[in-house]
Structure 1
């Protein structure tokens, strides 16, 4: 029960609705308070102006008779009468005379003499104030200077009326405003519900989408064109995060698959020479060791397999080092000079194949000498393996390009099919297994080459078509 209650009051829709209604109620309360203050001032001032106009309607020749009022404060018969208003007169000496009483025999309240006298020297504007009489009843007093026929001020007339009827009018106005406010709150509630539901529709869509993603539909994405900038930005951020997560999951799966294939391929490559050596040893143990011809042949085969095994282990260790934290000594140097210095070695490897060097002089970049030599030898050895010993042609070129240098190794071998090109730099990947093993290849040469190029900040690519040879391009930054 408590969880349902907390879920209900914790709902964003309920919170927005309640806070909107609370703000509306506060605004209506402030408007009501402001209206009450203005209405009170308006009603009191309007009543005071009405009484003043009645006082000003008395002819001036009647006022001089007022000083004849008995000094004992007794009420003389009024010269005029204003309904629900008590009247008093204050002369220039501060004497207070009651002219008439209000309803319920209400007596006029008397102010300080100094307050009366201070009014005599001021302009005859509308002056009124709210006071309490001796009985504790609130009255509205209007003070009006009185002038004789000759224009001289002879005193002050004080007119007072009870504020009860005025307050009743204000209360009725407040009740009307309260009823209208409650009606506004009710209709506001009816209007807010569909508006909030429509406003929160994009958020509800995101919640539904998140539920589908949580259920396992990782390909689902949040809608991003819902007409609300903030929600759309949030959806785009979530979609970007999901894309990165999906890419990381995919990369992790691919890494695991590559690791599985790598272990399987490495085990297979290691098992082949070990099996061969083991087989020759068994032959020798069965008596072949006593026959010099068979012994020599077996020893040569085991030596060849051990060399192949040594190269394989060396390549695996080199790849492990390159994958871990490769230590390279990058130094600025003439790459063109280094390649020209390797020309004798390359011609020996090429044999009877035609070798063409197109080296632009003075090409400078930052590189590790030993590792860059290994890159060139790997690519050159790969070209030698896949070209005819007699009619083969290998071209090695070096030139400057925008932002770097480009090294290319081209051959006229059988080429590579387009379907094989994306995997050409994978470890243990060989298109022609029998041909690669014939020359002692393990499928790691191009993988090592790519790893070395990567640590130099370069890029390696391949262009090839069946029957048109193969060209490897290496771009290195200057």
Structure 2
């Protein structure tokens, strides 16, 4: 019910579109109505003008040749005016000063008008006889007299003294270049106003009908058009944390809606991926806290136990005292190494700015060769170094990578039969040229199921969890973090009871 109400809110997209459609329809209908009204009025007025102009054909201009119309007699004037007047047309004589001289005031209904205007016979005769003669100002009459031609296309719609609208036309009397006056014909145009008013009623009715039809059709079209949008809204509103795998239909037949659905799907994919990462991080954090607590508890328990032994009197026995102190020292060293490794990982997690420059990998290995030899003890340590192997690295960090990988090889190879090889070369990885550092051993190898987990913190393969191998499962995590901070890559290949090869790809200047 709530969603249904939302569809009918005034500020909803549907009603905004519908309101816009109504405004456009209203503007179009009003514009068409005004245009049609102006066109019809112009057409009707032009038709009436032609009727009035045709009345001038009845004139005998030879009787109008007097230079001054003021000298014309009333009888002469009425004879002239009655020839052009009719039941609905009033004729007037205007001198060159713009003054009304004569108008056909007699009862023109007595005149037999065989050529009268049939369209105007509906006008009430008594009302017509009460109409006043519409007059222009003297300046306007002077302007008409000065115009070229015989004013055949000139007409005006004027109000008389009683505010009745009349159409007025004129014709010059005498010489066209220097007329002595004007004959003015005027007729009421109430019939035109009635036609226009009737047309206005018809247009208004049709406009309302068109507007209603437009609203009905617009509502139906918008409902159909916005249906996919409502579907998207309902789907998105119903998505919970457990439904992040839900995807919207991307083929709705509307480009914009399809694009919106695609954008929502991309967003849902990102949210789902972020949620899964968050869950994975939380799980790793729980596992990390558990493993760290376990690894810290072991040396602390040993230290605590030997301290209790010393407090019970073992300190008086030199052999027991030496054993206890050596054990405490060994466990404290293990504890210190664990804490230091955790601090290193914490620092690398913050992604600090690493100062890197071009270094000679072979020279770096040769610098730490004595320490590596001590680390390997009785194991065979071999070097296969190509010439001029340079890479853009942080020297100290890459030293630690070599130490950690070598120590990892030491932990998993036989003390006397073990063989470890450190090699350098150039190679191609993912279509890019890298300086390559390889550390190979002939140790126990890594099970295939554990290959993807070896860089996880505190991870140790089940075959390597004995105290004999030592370590906390942080060495390879540190290696991976350092390689990433140096913009490098690392790859591992291993086979059980055959050995393991770690390949580190370091960026060169090229």
TM superposition score normalised by structure 2: 0.82
Alpha-carbon distance in 1 for matches of 2:179, 2:239: 92
1:407 aligned to which of 437, 446, 454: 437
Match of 1:167 in 2: 193
Mapping 1:260-299, distance limit 5 Å: 260-283=286-309, 296-299=322-325
Alpha-carbon distance in 1 for matches of 2:377, 2:28: 96
Is 2:91–2:104's contact at 8 Å kept on the other side of the alignment? yes
Which is further off, 31-40 or 385-394?
A: 385-394
Offset of 1:73 from its aligned partner? 9.8
Unmatched 5+ residue regions in structure 1? Answer: none
Match of 1:463 in 2: 493
1:476 to 2:506 alignment: yes
Match of 1:12 in 2: 13
Offset of 1:438 from its aligned partner? 1.1
Mapping 1:130-279, distance limit 5 Å: 130-145=157-172, 155-213=181-239, 217-279=243-305
1:339 aligned to which of 365, 373, 391: 365
Which is further off, 325-334 or 163-172?
A: 325-334
Which is further off, 108-117 or 389-398?
A: 108-117
Deviations 1:385-405 (A, max 9, x none): 222334333222222344542
Alpha-carbon distance in 2 for matches of 1:288, 1:215: 60
Is 2:49–2:169's contact at 8 Å kept on the other side of the alignment? yes
Alpha-carbon distance in 2 for matches of 1:270, 1:5: 59
Alpha-carbon distance in 1 for matches of 2:333, 2:417: 29
Offset of 1:282 from its aligned partner? 4.5
1:70 aligned to which of 66, 73, 78: 73
Match of 1:418 in 2: 448
Deviations 1:212-254 (A, max 9, x none): 1258533323443334444444444443333333333322222
Offset of 1:456 from its aligned partner? 1.9
Offset of 1:59 from its aligned partner? 5.8
Match of 1:85 in 2: 89
Which is further off, 210-219 or 254-263?
A: 210-219
1:109 to 2:112 alignment: no
Deviations 1:48-107 (A, max 9, x none): 112212323556567669978524998458235434111123466867332466743134
State the secondary structure of the residue aligned to 2:426: strand
Offset of 1:28 from its aligned partner? 1.0
Offset of 1:331 from its aligned partner? 3.6
Alpha-carbon distance in 1 for matches of 2:135, 2:336: 124
Alpha-carbon distance in 2 for matches of 1:169, 1:351: 118
User: Judging changes above 3 Å, is the alpha-carbon distance between structure 1 residues 5 and 337 closer, same or farther for their aligned structure 2 residues?
Assistant: closer
Match of 1:98 in 2: 103
User: Judging changes above 3 Å, is the alpha-carbon distance between structure 1 residues 27 and 463 closer, same or farther for their aligned structure 2 residues?
Assistant: same
User: Judging changes above 3 Å, is the alpha-carbon distance between structure 1 residues 297 and 155 closer, same or farther for their aligned structure 2 residues?
Assistant: closer
Deviations 1:145-197 (A, max 9, x none): 3579x999775331110021110011111111111111111111121011111
Is 2:56–2:84's contact at 8 Å kept on the other side of the alignment? no
Which is further off, 405-414 or 188-197?
A: 405-414
2:468 aligned to which of 435, 438, 460: 438
Is 1:86–1:107's contact at 8 Å kept on the other side of the alignment? no
Alpha-carbon distance in 1 for matches of 2:43, 2:240: 65
Is 2:6–2:12's contact at 8 Å kept on the other side of the alignment? no
Which is further off, 436-445 or 87-96?
A: 87-96
Unmatched 5+ residue regions in structure 2? Answer: 109-124
Alpha-carbon distance in 1 for matches of 2:84, 2:321: 155
Alpha-carbon distance in 2 for matches of 1:5, 1:377: 66
Is 1:87–1:158's contact at 8 Å kept on the other side of the alignment? yes
Match of 2:33 in 1: 32
2:341 aligned to which of 315, 322, 327: 315
Alpha-carbon distance in 2 for matches of 1:73, 1:57: 15
Which is further off, 288-297 or 166-175?
A: 288-297
Is 2:26–2:211's contact at 8 Å kept on the other side of the alignment? yes
Is 1:73–1:96's contact at 8 Å kept on the other side of the alignment? no
Is 1:73–1:97's contact at 8 Å kept on the other side of the alignment? no
Is 2:55–2:84's contact at 8 Å kept on the other side of the alignment? no
Offset of 1:429 from its aligned partner? 0.6
Deviations 1:390-436 (A, max 9, x none): 43332222223445422121222232122211110111110046555
TM superposition score normalised by structure 1: 0.86
Alpha-carbon distance in 2 for matches of 1:374, 1:134: 112
Match of 2:119 in 1: none
State the secondary structure of the residue aligned to 1:408: strand
User: Judging changes above 3 Å, is the alpha-carbon distance between structure 1 residues 118 and 283 closer, same or farther for their aligned structure 2 residues?
Assistant: closer
Is 1:126–1:144's contact at 8 Å kept on the other side of the alignment? no
